[in-house]
């Protein structure tokens, strides 16, 4: 299982934003939506062995975390607008007061809480923080069977998050500061290349015709 955790320092933790003006109304949730696409979607398919966590730290309802499971999520679309609608509906779903992650739509679960909920959920998965200037991913041994990568948003990871991840390995993906979604793609490409079975993790069929 591969997991990607994106910490949105300002991303709004409620569905009250305008899909037409995501950057201006959502605390830059758009950055995190692009990470969903990068981590979970391939051409005509979904990575079934991957989960994405969006830690939402913006707005009055924060902290909340959305978990999207490629194994069971339905009708994921690559465009930001569709992903924004999915996240807005999920955040607006009635809460049942369950502890931890509560599935509100197929493959989409919400937790009241931030990074601590994620760390509990991922259990013993090997932890890696994507950090500029850290040891090159290509030179680092990775636990490809069970790995979790923590990624910052447009502002980078805050000190509280870094403190919570003190025991995690730091890895870099090259000499240039990338957008979060591009850093994720670079990691996935390295994992795919190391995966002897290659495409075994990718399943096609993501809802009705029309998906790219
Ligand atoms: C747009 S960057 C954040 C830039 C921010 N100014 C900072 O200093 O962290 C978003 C995230 O992508 C990841 N990232 C970007 N470039 C990277 C690189 N070359 N190596 C490792 N991680 C990188 C980091 O997790 C970073 O927090």
- Say whether pLDDT at 209 is over 50: no
Given a cut of 50, whether residue 68 has pLDDT beyond it is: yes
86 CA from centroid of ligand 1 (Å): 26
Among protein residues, the one with the nearest Cα to ligand 1's atom 15 is 178
Helix (H) or strand (E) holding 37: helix 29-40
**Model confidence at 208: pLDDT above 50:** no
Nearest alpha-carbon partner for 35 in 72, 75, 87, 71: 87
User: Can you give the pTM of this predicted structure?
Assistant: 0.93
Average pLDDT over residues 88-97: 91
How much is the pLDDT for 197? Answer: 45
Q: pLDDT tens digit string along 152-193?
A: 999 999 999 999 999 999 999 999 999 999 999 999 999 999
Sheet holding 169-171, edge to edge: 102-105, 108-112, 64-69, 50-58, 2-12, 147-152, 126-130, 169-171
CATH of 2-194, one of 3.30.1300.30, 3.40.1280.10, 2.40.280.10, 3.40.190.10: 3.40.1280.10
* Residue of 134, 156, 171 to test ligand 1 pocket, by largest number of atoms within 8 Å of CB: 156
The pLDDT-based confidence of 195 (bands split at 50, 70, 90) is: confident
pLDDT of residue 211: 46
> Which tens digits make up the pLDDT trace of 119-162?
999 999 999 999 999 999 999 999 989 999 999 999 999 999 99
Pocket test for ligand 1, best of 28, 152, 165, 187 (most atoms within 8 A of CB): 152
What separation in Å is there between the alpha carbon of 179 and the centre of ligand 1?
Answer: 7
Q: Any idea where the domains of the chain sit in the sequence?
A: 2-194
Question: CB under 6 Å to ligand 1: residues?
Answer: 130-132, 151-152, 154-157, 172-174, 176-180, 183
Residue 180 neighbours by CB under 8 Å, 6+ apart? 6, 31, 32, 34, 35, 151, 152, 153, 154
Q: What is the pLDDT of residue 60?
A: 95
């Amino acid at each position: 299982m591969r997991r990607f955790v994106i910490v949105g320092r300002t991303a709004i933790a409620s569905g009250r934003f305008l899909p037409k003006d995501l950057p201006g109304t959502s605390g830059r949730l758009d950055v995190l939506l692009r990470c969903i696409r990068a981590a979970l979607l391939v051409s005509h398919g979904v990575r079934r062995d991957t989960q994405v966590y969006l830690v939402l730290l913006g707005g009055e309802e924060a902290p909340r975390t959305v978990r999207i499971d490629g194994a069971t999520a339905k009708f994921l679309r690559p465009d930001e607008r569709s992903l924004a609608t999915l996240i807005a509906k999920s955040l607006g779903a009635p809460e049942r007061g369950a502890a931890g992650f509560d599935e509100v739509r197929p493959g989409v679960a919400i937790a009241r809480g931030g990074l601590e909920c994620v760390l509990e959920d991922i259990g013993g998965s090997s932890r890696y923080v994507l950090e500029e200037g850290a040891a090159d991913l290509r030179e680092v041994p990775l636990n490809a069977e069970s790995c979790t990568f923590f990624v910052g948003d447009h502002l980078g990871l805050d000190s509280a998050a870094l403190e919570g991840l003190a025991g995690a390995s730091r890895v870099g993906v090259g000499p240039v500061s990338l957008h979060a979604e591009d850093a994720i793609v670079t990691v996935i490409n390295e994992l795919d290349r190391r995966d002897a079975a290659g495409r075994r993790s990718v399943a096609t069929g993501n809802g009705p015709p029309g998906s790219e």
